[in-house]
Structure 1
Amino acid sequence: MKTSTAKPRRELIDVRYADERAKTRIGWLDSKHSFSFGRHYDPRNTHHGLLLVNNDDIVKPGMGFETHPHRDMEIVTWVLRGSLVHQDSTGHSGVIYPGLAQRMSAGTGILHSEKNDSWRLEGHKHADPVHFIQMWVVPDTDGIKPGYEQLEIDDELLRGGLVTVASGMKQHDGASAIRIKNRHAALHVARLEAGGSVALPHAPYLHLFVARGSVAMEQAGTLAEGDAVRLTGSGGQRITASAPAEVMTWEMHATIAG
Structure 2
Amino acid sequence: MKTIVHRADSRGHADHGWLNAHHSFSFANYYNPQRMNFGVLRVLNDDIISGGMGFGMHPHDNMEIITIPLRGDLEHKDSMGNTGRIKSGEIQVMSAGTGVFHSEYNPDPDRETNLLQIWVMPDKRNVTPRYDQISIREYHRKNELYQVVSPDAGAQGTWIHQDAWFFLGDFDGGTTSSYTLRKKGNGVYLFVMEGSVSVDGEVLEKRDAIGISDTGAFTVKAESEARFLLMEVPMTL
**Global fold match (TM > 0.5):** yes
1:223 and 1:44 mapped to 2: Cα distance?
20
Name the CA distance, whole Å, in 2 between partners of 1:211 and 1:15: 15
Give ranges in structure 1 of 5+ residues lacking alignment. 1-10, 120-125
The corresponding residue for 2:113 is 130
Matching residue within 117, 123, 129 for 1:146 = 129
Query: Match of 1:155?
Result: 138
1:118-141, CA deviations, whole angstroms, 9 ceiling, x for partnerless residues?
Answer: x5xxxxxx5111111110001111
CA–CA separation in structure 1 for the residues paired with 2:144 and 2:37: 27
* Shift in alpha-carbon separation, 1:79–1:52, aligned structure 2, 3 A: same
Q: Which residue of 1 aligns with 2:82?
A: 92
Give, in angstroms, the shift of residue 173 of structure 1: 4.9
Structure 1 counterpart SS, 2:215: strand
Q: Does 1:186 align with 2:169?
A: no
| Shift of residue 208, structure 1, vs aligned partner | 0.5
Once the two structures are superposed, what CA deviation does each residue of 1:12-65 show, in whole Å capped at 9, x if it has no partner?
A: 111110000010111111110010101111222211111000001111110111
Deviation at 1:226, TM superposition (A): 0.8
AA paired with 1:190?
G
Q: Does residue 1:217 correspond to 2:188, yes or no?
A: no
Alpha-carbon displacement from aligned partner over 1:221-249 (angstroms, at most 9, x marks no partner): x2111100011212532222233221111
Equivalent pair of 1:201/1:251 in contact (CA under 8 Å): no
Query: In the alignment, which residue of structure 1 is the partner of 2:229?
Result: 248
Judge conservation of contact 2:197–2:204 (CA < 8 Å) in 1: yes
Aligned residues between the structures: 234
Correspondence for 1:55: 45
2:20 match: 30
SS of equivalent residue, structure 2 residue 51: coil
Contact kept, 8 Å, 1:14 with 1:230, in 2: the verdict is yes
CA distance in 1, matches of 2:32, 2:198: 29
Using the size of structure 1 for normalisation, the TM-score is 0.86
**Greater Cα shift, 56-65 or 153-162:** 153-162
CA distance in 2, matches of 1:237, 1:194: 18
Gaps of 5+ in 2: none
1:237 maps to 2:202: no
* Cα distance in 2 for residues equivalent to 1:27 and 1:253: 36
Amino acid corresponding to residue 150 of structure 1 in structure 2: Q
Separation (CA, whole Å) in 2 of partners of 1:181 and 1:158: 26
Counterpart contact for 1:46–1:52, Cα < 8 Å: yes
Q: CA RMSD in A?
A: 1.6
- Which residue is equivalent to 1:19? 9
Deviates more, 1:35-44 or 1:235-244: 235-244
Instruction: Indicate the structure whose relative CO is greater, using CA pairs within 8 Å and at least 6 residues apart.
Output: 1
Inter-partner Cα distance in structure 1 for 2:158 and 2:138: 15
CA contact (8 A) 2:199 2:221 kept: yes
Seq. identity, % = 36
1:40 is matched with which residue?
30
8 Å CA contact 2:38, 2:235 repeated in 1: no
Q: Residues 219 and 237 of structure 1 are in contact (CA less than 8 Å); yes or no, is this contact kept in structure 2?
A: no
Aligned to 2:189: 207
User: Counterpart of 2:9 in 1: which secondary structure?
Assistant: helix
